[in-house]
């Protein structure tokens, strides 16, 4: 049976995005060209323009895929869910070129044409929501403002990630993200929550494996 | 009396660096050209090449000036000195194009030709040194490893700064840096130190004014 047209289109779109991610990650937004992306994707110009009308749209497509990283399995402890998002993102930056390209674009001041605010706002909204749930369950210290804490955590994670990229090509990232969480969470959650958390450097890999083994839970 | 040759050379070098900073901040490393910098500086090609042999050297010159921000007046409380470095940097990002250009270059993955690791290492070394002094004075909690905490703080500051640039053009930076410090310092220093700190958003401006009024203390 021939592959349905729609499935093929979805596959082609994905192939193009993977190729675009590779080019954006290597060359940055300004230097990247559509013809490099065409070569990397090995598709026709017509196929590319059917899905994306411009370099901007390609970059937005890569950035949008970043948001996948925000889905993790639901946990009874919302603080652990937050830790899982951060540690999974660290693991994916090490292993997934698409996530690396998104991180590069979000911090690329040369990418004026694309919406770099969106990813920060999206992450901040997700973390604020999780902290709100944690607050309702009594996990947070009484003074915590979920919106402010989310802003601090998202900004700090972006920077720890950028420093790890610049200094070790992401090699030390799980360790530095875990260190960041150990430095911030004691100001946010009750000590009884702290003692129950898995903050080990393997956490990102563990969550990734869990999601591959049970994709329906994500 | 005519101006001594050496003074004029220093002034020309500074004029070129200020122009280069403006161009790098606006256009990013890859897109910036020496001819744009020449136009902005309003100096001859010969004058520019006398001081800087390449775009790389210009970028390194701008990055090196970032390190000025690491000098603040000495305080009896080393944790306050650390707060002052962070808050002064936030204030300068709002007010000094040279500091903004350095920050952009340090996070610019397109700037492969320049040493982006240097600024992170320099900041980490300074913060590690300060935390070491704070430790000797008994300001730190017993478990703190100055090197690890410095890495977390420097990375987190870089990210909070990048997020503030992307979302508010640095407008909210003093507030978010203060929030980052309020989220991290309780895991680092004794509570008796915390209560004595000036962590208000005006702190950067206050320290900047103090250094302008008494330049010999810096």
Residue A24 maps to which CATH number? 1.10.10.60
Cα atoms in the 13 Å half-sphere on the side-chain side of B44: 4
Are residues B49 and B81 both part of a single domain? no
The pLDDT of residue B29 is 85
Q: Is the pLDDT of residue B5 over 70?
A: yes
Least CB–CB distance from B159: residue in A155, A183, A184 = A155
The pLDDT of residue A135 is 98
Chain B residues with beta carbon closer than 8 angstroms to that of A27: 110
Residue spans of alpha helices (H) in B112-202:
117-136, 146-168, 173-184, 191-194
Residue B25 or residue B186, greater confidence: B186
- B71 to chain A, closest Cα gap in Å: 22
CA nearest B115 in A: which residue? A166
- A116 to chain B, closest Cα gap in Å: 7
The pLDDT of residue A218 is 52
Question: ipTM of the assembly?
Answer: 0.84
Cα–Cα distance list, A198 to A136, B3, B71 (Å):
21, 66, 39
Are residues B108 and B119 both part of a single domain? yes
The pLDDT of residue A126 is 93
Which tokens in the block code for residue A33?
């060209």
Least CB–CB distance from A154: residue in B153, B158, B163 = B163
Over range B38-53, report the average pLDDT.
Answer: 93
Q: Which of B48, B64, B80 is the last residue of a domain?
A: B64
Q: How far apart are CA B40 and CA B108, in angstroms?
A: 22
Which H, E and C letters describe B83-125, residue by residue?
HHHHHHHHHHHHHCHHHHHHHHHHCCCCCCCCCCHHHHHHHHH
Q: Is the pLDDT of residue B1 over 60?
A: no
For A54, which DSSP code?
S
User: A209: Cβ–Cβ under 8 A, 6 or more apart, which residues?
Assistant: none
What percentage of chain B has pLDDT greater than the value 90? 66
Q: Is the pLDDT of residue B87 over 90?
A: yes
Residue A103 or residue B179, greater confidence: B179
Low-confidence ranges of chain A (pLDDT < 70): 1-3, 66-69, 109-113, 216-218
State chain B's mean pLDDT as an integer. Answer: 90
Are residues B73 and B18 both part of a single domain? no
Radius of gyration in angstroms for the set of CA atoms belonging to chain B, rounded to a whole number: 19
Q: Which of A46, A64, A82 is the last residue of a domain?
A: A64
For residues B72 and B84, the answer to whether their CB atoms sit within 8 Å is yes
Are residues B115 and B165 both part of a single domain? yes
The pLDDT of residue A187 is 96
CATH number at residue A184: 1.10.357.10
Are residues B23 and B71 both part of a single domain? no
CA nearest B159 in A: which residue? A159
Q: Is the pLDDT of residue B172 over 90?
A: yes
Q: Is the pLDDT of residue B173 over 90?
A: yes
Are residues B117 and B171 both part of a single domain? yes
The pLDDT of residue B7 is 83
Give the confidence band of B68 by pLDDT, cuts at 50, 70, 90. low
Q: Which of B64, B88, B108 is the last residue of a domain?
A: B64
Give the confidence band of B101 by pLDDT, cuts at 50, 70, 90. confident
Residue B107 or residue A134, greater confidence: A134
The pLDDT of residue B113 is 67
Q: Is A74 left (phi over 0), alpha (psi -120 to 50) or beta?
A: beta
Are residues B129 and B204 both part of a single domain? yes
- A168 touches B at CB < 8 Å: no
User: B125: Cβ–Cβ under 8 A, 6 or more apart, which residues?
Assistant: B150
Are residues B197 and B112 both part of a single domain? yes
Are residues A57 and A92 both part of a single domain? no
Q: Calculate helix-pair angle for B117-136, B78-95, nearest 10 degrees.
A: 150
Are residues A17 and A118 both part of a single domain? no
Are residues A127 and A209 both part of a single domain? yes
pTM score: 0.85
Are residues B78 and B47 both part of a single domain? no
The pLDDT of residue A116 is 73
Interface of A with B in 127-156 (CB under 8 A): 148-149, 151-156
Domain around A30: 5-64
Q: Is the pLDDT of residue B106 over 80?
A: no
Chain A residues with beta carbon closer than 8 angstroms to that of B109: 28, 104, 107-108, 165
Q: Tally C-beta pairs within 8 A across A and B.
A: 132
Least CB–CB distance from A152: residue in B152, B160, B161 = B160
Domain count, chain A: 2
Q: How far apart are CA A8 and CA A87, in angstroms?
A: 33
The answer to whether the CB atoms of B155 and A149 lie below 8 A apart is no
């Amino acid at each position: 049976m021939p592959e349905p047209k729609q499935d093929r289109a979805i596959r082609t779109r994905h192939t193009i995005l993977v190729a675009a991610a590779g080019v954006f990650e290597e060359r940055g937004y300004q230097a990247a060209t559509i013809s490099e992306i065409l070569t990397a994707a090995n598709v026709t110009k017509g196929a590319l323009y059917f899905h994306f009308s411009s370099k901007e749209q390609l970059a937005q497509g890569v950035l949008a895929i970043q948001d996948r990283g925000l889905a993790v399995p639901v946990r009874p402890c919302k603080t652990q869910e937050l830790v899982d998002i951060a540690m999974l993102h660290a693991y994916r930056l090490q292993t997934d070129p698409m996530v690396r390209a998104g991180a590069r674009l979000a911090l690329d001041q040369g990418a004026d044409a694309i919406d770099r605010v969106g990813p920060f706002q999206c992450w901040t909204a997700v973390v604020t929501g999780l902290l709100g749930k944690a607050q309702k369950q009594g996990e947070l210290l009484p003074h915590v403002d979920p919106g402010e804490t989310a802003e601090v955590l998202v900004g700090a994670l972006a920077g720890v990630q950028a420093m790890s990229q610049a200094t070790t090509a992401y090699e030390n990232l799980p360790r530095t993200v875990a260190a960041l969480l150990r430095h911030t969470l004691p100001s946010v959650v009750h000590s009884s929550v702290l003692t129950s958390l898995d903050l080990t450097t393997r956490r990102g890999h563990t969550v990734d494996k869990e999601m591959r083994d049970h994709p329906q839970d994500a």
